[in-house]
Chain A
């Protein structure tokens, strides 16, 4: 019963949502919308669970003497409590805007900017000539980079048409193949969840 009930509820809800997708009927649409709304409510409860996990992990770390990461845990907890307090006590206030504009947004910007350096580092490792694949990757990348330059047409009249052909024929064909395969995998996995062959919700 402990497993049968959640599995039955999940299968019924899944099938109903699927029927709702194909059948445009006002009553079915209303019930389907309620089910989707239920997902949002459940996700909000899960967020509460995540919050408890975060506080528990970092609270315990903060209380442990000799733990090297106490500083970052303290920053995290202060940030969490501070932002939550301002958000609850002064919703929509300038103080909350200040937190987002002058703390959150700059931190996000900094981290996004760091991705450029990580990309260079990753490409440096990927371009090491360990195999024929790496050689093809290197030559193609260098060619596309060269052909993207504004003055590439003056270097050779072949460069730009060849770049366009490369991007529109082999690259697009490969990406479409991957997308088709991904779509099939997505359908198969979704059907497995729908038929309760995979049950991530009932463990």
Chain B
């Protein structure tokens, strides 16, 4: 008698496809339903994440002081495997840009990939347009330094301090070059916040930054800052986590008893 894995293997090309499809079929309806509820005003409880709390304070301070917060978006392209990471970097940049635009204050961003440059300039343009200062959209607020990680880090660290930023945020796709940037920030004496999902870069950034988000906390930026619709996907993630936990426990029991 064929095992369950072999049986499913006859239907789909690989067991990876089966797992991916199963996750998708559960996750997608959950995400849609909970996002609709979040957009309808339903509030889901959130535990405090210090990075986002501090970012709110620093954005208010930067707006009052007229000094721009620097958002480093990293070197991952939009459209590749780094897309979820860089979308979160852009979400934070959007938050900072909207607050600065509301008071016609400057913003500062750096990108290591040209697709990020275009997206960040678009967000800045929208923020200025919505604030009624479209004619004052700065053409050079977002700096591009080339897609090579170390070249980007060298260029962006050169940018630090020039505009006397009160804070620097590293959120996007960063590897070891994030350490270079974080150290340049530390030497400027400004607040350093950020995070990464790259397991190899996590210890480096954890050691180098004042406040850090790791792993999935990176993807919670929108929900914590200014996009209530993201609360729905955050709640969907939590339900999926419980389902995965139960599946692991059941899998362990079945494997131990020889049923799998």
Contacts and interface: CB of A to CB of B under 8 A. Distances in A.
Interface of A: 21-22, 24, 39, 42-43, 46-51, 53-54, 56-57, 60, 69, 72, 108, 111-112, 114-115, 118-119, 121-123, 125-126, 175, 178-182, 184-193, 195, 197-198, 200-201, 203
Interface stretch (B44-52, B87-95, B252-260): B87-95
Nearest to B38: A197
Interface string B179-212: 1101100100000000001010010101110000
List the 5 shortest-distance A-B pairs measured between CB atoms, nearest first.
A50-B114, A185-B219, A181-B216, A189-B84, A203-B122
Contact of A187 (B27, B32, B79, B148): B27
Given A185-B216, A197-B229, 5 more contacts: A22-B17, A178-B214, A180-B241, A185-B197, A185-B220
Given A69-B158, A115-B179, A178 B117 contact: no
B5 to A, nearest CB: 18
A187 B23 contact: yes
Contacts of B113: 46, 50
Nearest to B240: A184
Interface in B8-32: 12-13, 17, 20-21, 23-24, 27-28, 31-32
A195 B32 contact: yes
Nearest to A185: B219
Contact of A57 (B143, B146, B147): B143
Given A46-B118, A69-B158, A201-B119, A184 B179 contact: no
Place the interface of chain B in its size category: 35 or more
Interface of B: 12-13, 17, 20-21, 23-24, 27-28, 31-32, 35, 77-79, 83-84, 86-88, 90-91, 111, 113-115, 117-119, 122-123, 125-126, 139-140, 142-148, 150, 153-154, 158, 162, 176, 179-180, 182-183, 186, 197, 199, 202, 204, 206-208, 214-216, 218-220, 222, 229-230, 233-234, 236-237, 240-241, 244
27 contacts: A22-B17, A42-B79, A42-B115, A46-B114, A46-B117, A50-B113, A54-B146, A57-B140, A108-B148, A118-B183, A119-B207, A126-B207, A178-B214, A179-B199, A181-B215, A181-B216, A184-B240, A184-B244, A185-B219, A188-B27, A191-B27, A195-B32, A198-B91, A198-B222, A200-B78, A200-B87, A200-B119
Contacts of B220: 185
A125 B202 CA distance: 16
Contacts of B140: 53, 56-57, 60
Contacts of B206: 126
B77 A43 contact: yes
Contacts of A56: 139-140
Contacts of A47: 114, 147
Contacts of B23: 187
Interface of A is mostly: helix
B219 A188 contact: yes
B144 to A, nearest CB: 4
